[in-house]
Amino acid sequence: MTDTASKDVTELDHVVIRFAGDSGDGMQLTGDRFTSASALFGNDLSTLPDFPAEIRAPAGTLAGVSAFQVNISDHDILTPGDFPTVLVAMNPAALRANLVDVPRGGTVIVNSDSFEERNLNKAGYATNPLVDGTLDGFDVYEVPMTSLTVEATKELGVKPRDAERSKNCFALGIVSWMYTRPLEATTAWIETKFAKSPLVMQSNLAAFRAGYNFGETAELFASSYEIKPTMFDPGDYTNVSGNTALAWGLIAASQLARLPLFLGSYPITPASDILHELSKHKNFGVRTMQAEDEIAGISAAIGAAFGGHLAITTTSGPGVDLKAEAMGLAVSLELPLIIVDIQRGGPSTGLPTKTEQSDLMLAMYGRHGESPMPIVAAKTPSHCFDAAIEAARLALKYRTPVLLLSDGYIANGSEPWRLPDVADLPDIAVDFATEPNHTSDKGEAEFWPYLRDTETLARPWAVPGTPGLEHRIGGLEKEDGTGNVNYDGVNHERMTRLRAAKVAGIVKDIPGVEVDDDGARDLLVVGWGSTYGSIGAAVRRVRARGMKASHAHVMHLFPFPSDLGEVLRRYKRVLVPEMNMGQLSRLLRAEFLVDAQSLTKIQGAPFKASEIEAAMLALLDNPSPEVS
């Protein structure tokens, strides 16, 4: 079926395709399958799912439009693409909501069956865009996908209403033909996924094949396109989303620490997939508890940490708000704990399904009292794996809660990931205390739960079940060393400074800031978290113009890497793009007294590379200030 000799095959270096339809149309699935087939074919890729907060908004309305954008390429890429050059629109609302992003000359494939009056009205079209000139200048393909799907599945005895539900597979078939995707992977997937409902499976297979054959035989498409595989480094690869990589990173950390994993979590978008993924892997000794609320999730994790488990709680911003008091308790108890925040648009319920990086200040300061907490941020979907292991390493070694930040963009987005060799992963195991660590005035052996390691300032971790080390800890201030309740002001200041020094001392244990430096000193773009791809792509574009710019990306946000100030001061200009109102730029200004220029975007969507590129060019065009 891959014989396309009857039509031309044009080679492309990349294509950005957006699948858009009603939230009931299965667009996320369609995009995901196209992505998987492309990953297996060997393309580099990056995805951007974008769906409404409602599970089923009224059908056919703008509010109900769900979209999935994927950039597939024959070379290494960093983003899902600024603009789709191909839009698949399953109904008028999907066209209306997404056409604005497609440049003139782009390809628009529509399900023409759905462009009838009722749907046009729901989408707010006074006239039919297929005939009124709206699509002038676009390369438009009108395909009656619904009726062709019904026709293709008729022989199976599927009712027309049920048959219509396979139209997304028809669309997937057309696009698979257009971009010469091998059929086997998708066929096998449909067979497995719907194995329990043979009729649905056959219906989807028939629709998929019909779509593919339609592309091949209809006189509509002049050419298909080929995007050659990317030249990847040798190794084993998989296509992974950030949330899956994060869950796997936590399991890896549990193995590397030789501690059982305990997750206390309450469902919340966009973090729930981590709970789902971890729940599958009980054979790794993973205990997941869907708690009664966010506070119970972290409280149970604290209990498990006291019991000697690798304890984790996963949530998004509103959940972090609720967990704040328990996070402070973990600071005071000095127990290892990982708090995962998959950031989303706020404040309050905000934009549950849309991305934002607006919890940095919350992570840094969102607790009462002096309660410093290390912060680690993941930068790409696959990097969530490494970031999870790093968060666990710091938590265990320093007996501290650690905040691990990701966001909706990389949590749901995916990319090909060269799998690490398990043997190369770091050993993060720590020892429990087993013996008394102090001798009393009477010469008796005692256990002091707050007698610290002189190097890391970490306190001993003595777990229940260890004879002779029975001790009590709590949220009241403790006497330095003994850990007994103590209200003395001088002791409180000493303990406050010790807790701060312990976390600050992590700076000696983390690498310098990652800088992609091209030698010039004109401009440094500084980012954290998921802006990595957009900034990297923008820097490439600026360099392609023959100009110079460097990119620093901060993974450890507290404490900052020791060389960050020095790196910032090397450049005449510093630009900080963030999906918030300028939180990192404010921290950099406060900490290092550098003139960090903020570039902000709070639209629930990642930066386009072109947006950062424009800001960079504006800075580079201005006469540079002298560096003092």
Partner 1 sequence: MTTVDVPITSRKDWMSDQEVRWCPGCGDYSILSAVQLMMPDLGVRRENTVFVSGIGCAARFPYYMNTYGMHGIHGRAAAIATGLAVARPDLDVWVISGDGDALSIGGNHLIHALRRNINLTILMFNNQIYGLTKGQYSPTSEVGKVTKSTPFGSVDTPFNPISLALGAEATFVARTHDMDRNHMIETFKRAHDHKGASFVEVYQNCNVFNDGAFAAVTAKENRSDNLIPLQHGEPIRFGANNDKGVAPDAQGHFQVVNVADVGEDALVVHDESRDSAAHAFALSRLARGPHEPTPVGVFRAVERDHYGALVGDQILDAQAKRGSGDLAALLRSGASWTVE
Is residue 302 within the footprint of partner 1 (CB under 8 A)? yes
Is residue 303 within the footprint of partner 1 (CB under 8 A)? yes
- Dihedral pair phi/psi, residue 6, rounded to 5°: -70, -20
Q: How far is the CB of 577 from partner 1 (least distance, A)?
A: 31
Q: Which of 401, 458, 466 shows the shortest CA–CA distance to 433?
A: 466
Structural contact between residues 70 and 78, judged by C-beta atoms closer than 8 angstroms: no
Hunting for tokens 């539900």 — which residue is that? 165
- DSSP letter (8 states) at residue 422: G
Give CA–CA dist 499/173, Å, rounded: 59
Letter string b/e over residues 537-561, b meaning 16 or more CB atoms within 10 A of that residue's CB? bbbbbbeeeebbbbbbbbbbbbbbb
Report residue 477 as tokens. 């201030």
* 501: enclosing H helix or E strand: helix 489-504
Q: How far is the CB of 583 from partner 1 (least distance, A)?
A: 28
433 CB-side CA count, 13 A: 27
Report residue 563 as tokens. 């060389």
Q: How far is the CB of 94 from partner 1 (least distance, A)?
A: 27
Is residue 299 within the footprint of partner 1 (CB under 8 A)? yes
Is residue 336 within the footprint of partner 1 (CB under 8 A)? no
Q: How far is the CB of 584 from partner 1 (least distance, A)?
A: 31
For 171, residues 6+ apart whose C-beta sits below 8 A from its C-beta are 19, 30, 88, 90, 109, 111, 145, 211
- Out of 70, 108, 304, 555, point to the residue binding partner 1 (CB under 8 A): 304
- Dihedral pair phi/psi, residue 487, rounded to 5°: -105, 10
Q: How far is the CB of 461 from partner 1 (least distance, A)?
A: 12
Give CA–CA dist 623/522, Å, rounded: 10
Ranges within 268-297 binding partner 1 (CB under 8 A): 281-287, 289, 291-293, 295-296
What is the torsional sign of CA 239, 244, 250, 252? negative
Hunting for tokens 């666990």 — which residue is that? 392
Nearer to partner 1, 474 or 512 (CB): 474
Interacting stretch for partner 1, rule CB under 8 A, among 33-41, 90-98, 168-176, 620-628?
33-41
Q: How far is the CB of 401 from partner 1 (least distance, A)?
A: 14
Q: Cα–chain-centroid distance for residue 45? A: 15
Q: If you count them, how many residues does the chain have?
A: 628
Q: Count of residues binding partner 1 (CB under 8 A)? A: 71
Ranges within 365-404 binding partner 1 (CB under 8 A): none
CA distances from 361 to 375, 477, 531 (A): 11, 25, 17
Distance between start and end Cα atoms, the chain: 67
Is residue 301 within the footprint of partner 1 (CB under 8 A)? yes
Ranges within 339-358 binding partner 1 (CB under 8 A): none
Q: How far is the CB of 466 from partner 1 (least distance, A)?
A: 6
Ranges within 41-60 binding partner 1 (CB under 8 A): 42
- Dihedral pair phi/psi, residue 555, rounded to 5°: -90, -40
3 state SS of 66: strand
Hunting for tokens 């002001």 — which residue is that? 489
What is the torsional sign of CA 342, 348, 349, 353? negative
Is residue 318 within the footprint of partner 1 (CB under 8 A)? no
Q: Pattern 242-261, binding to partner 1, x per CB under 8 A?
A: --x---x--xx--x----x-
Report residue 127 as tokens. 């006239």
Nearer to partner 1, 166 or 244 (CB): 244
- Out of 300, 342, 362, 619, point to the residue binding partner 1 (CB under 8 A): 300
Interacting stretch for partner 1, rule CB under 8 A, among 13-21, 36-44, 156-164, 200-208?
36-44
Is residue 225 within the footprint of partner 1 (CB under 8 A)? no
Ranges within 521-560 binding partner 1 (CB under 8 A): none
Interacting stretch for partner 1, rule CB under 8 A, among 56-64, 135-143, 226-234, 546-554?
226-234
- Out of 55, 100, 222, 422, point to the residue binding partner 1 (CB under 8 A): 422
Q: How far is the CB of 292 from partner 1 (least distance, A)?
A: 4
Ramachandran region, residue 60 (left: φ > 0; alpha: ψ -120 to 50; beta: rest):
left
Q: How far is the CB of 248 from partner 1 (least distance, A)?
A: 6
Nearer to partner 1, 53 or 185 (CB): 185
Ranges within 459-488 binding partner 1 (CB under 8 A): 463-476, 484-485
Is residue 448 within the footprint of partner 1 (CB under 8 A)? no
Interacting stretch for partner 1, rule CB under 8 A, among 35-43, 129-137, 522-530, 570-578?
35-43
Nearer to partner 1, 83 or 284 (CB): 284
Is residue 429 within the footprint of partner 1 (CB under 8 A)? no
